[in-house]
A = this chain, B = another copy of it.
């Protein structure tokens, strides 16, 4: 059976409504949604390092596809702060957060999860965009030296967290060791604003916020462990305090500042996708706003508008779009400013363009008090 139906558009090469894989009766102006992967085109998505996004189209062309993605797990000692603090991270593809996956609604994601023999622990993947089997966690548990492939349909639009969830205390441990990322499921027609009109972004960035719980020794110095297993007991004790030692964007204090800073031009409509797999956060763009904000990540819901700060619940991702109006160096922070500055949750964005004095102007430079 070759399904060539796409949401909202009838394709001439097939007769809509006659397939057993469709769940809804076609109306005069609607075609059934595709519900089976049979006969769909296969494509491979090449994932990239965050904050970058994989190549993708905003408005889907053609019928849903089967999108093949390969994620390789890596346990590695990483440096998480400029003072040299190191911890054993657990990662998808070597980065914290793991790579962003991008598909459209009703696409089928065929994901291969690889646990190289160089690792020491069992891992799996639970995708909040998936339905059933603990989000896939039940079907993907792999020992070091194994790989597994499973497929799910992305039926809900939005941005969603994925993370490792291998059972028991290993669930929070792996998540706060960095083993999480996000998937964006775009509506087939792309994003819409609060009035339902189509909107496009000129660029998109993926910011993964991460809470770390690094144990300290009797002098208050951060401890470094010889193996991933050696630090588990101590780390669980810090976790129970619910007080992270570090809260960072993209794996380390300063990862998205300096050479890692993001960039944009005045007039660019930039989509910021922000995930936090475990702990609440409140993104804020200093000197900018969220023109359109999908705070809980669902693209089917009308976005909120003109926000100073938005709130991402622990265990979720959200998205905010902003058209830059002024050039300069912007800071993008978790606006618990202690978490931003003393714990590390801050990024920079270099914005080029022409300054608009009408929008803001220094009228009188600092000088003696009148």
Whether A341 touches B309, Cβ cut-off 8 Å, given contacts A134-B287, A242-B243, is no
**CB pair A309 B298 closer than 8 Å:** no
Contacts of A145 in B (CB 8 A): 368-369
Counting every copy of the chain, the complex holds: 3
**A8 interface hit (Cβ, 8 Å):** no
Q: Which of A89-97, A224-232, A254-262, A358-366 contacts B (4 or more CB under 8 A)?
A: A358-366
**CB pair A134 B315 closer than 8 Å:** no
Interface centre among A137, A141, A363, A368 (most CB of B within 10 A): A363
Q: How far is the CB of A286 from chain B (nearest CB, A)?
A: 5
**CB pair A360 B282 closer than 8 Å:** no
A99-144 interface with B by 8 A CB criterion: 110, 112, 114-117, 126, 128-143
Bound Cα distance A326, B137 (Å)? 14
**A205 interface hit (Cβ, 8 Å):** no
Contact with B along A272-301 (1 / 0, CB 8 A): 000001111010101111000101111011
**CB pair B305 A341 closer than 8 Å:** no
Q: Which of A44-52, A53-61, A76-84, A157-165 contacts B (4 or more CB under 8 A)?
A: A157-165
Whether A360 touches B153, Cβ cut-off 8 Å, given contacts A305-B301, A341-B171, is yes
Bound Cα distance A368, B21 (Å)? 33
Q: How large is the interface on A (under 10, 10 to 19, 20 to 34, 35 or more residues)?
A: 35 or more
**A75 interface hit (Cβ, 8 Å):** no
**CB pair B153 A359 closer than 8 Å:** yes
Give the residue name and chain of the B residue nearest to A157 (CB). B306
Spell out A's residues near B (CB within 8 Å): 21, 35-37, 110, 112, 114-117, 126, 128-143, 145-153, 155-158, 160-161, 165, 168-169, 171-172, 175-176, 194, 236, 239-243, 277-280, 282, 284, 286-289, 293, 295-298, 300-301, 304-311, 313-317, 325-331, 335-343, 355-356, 358-370
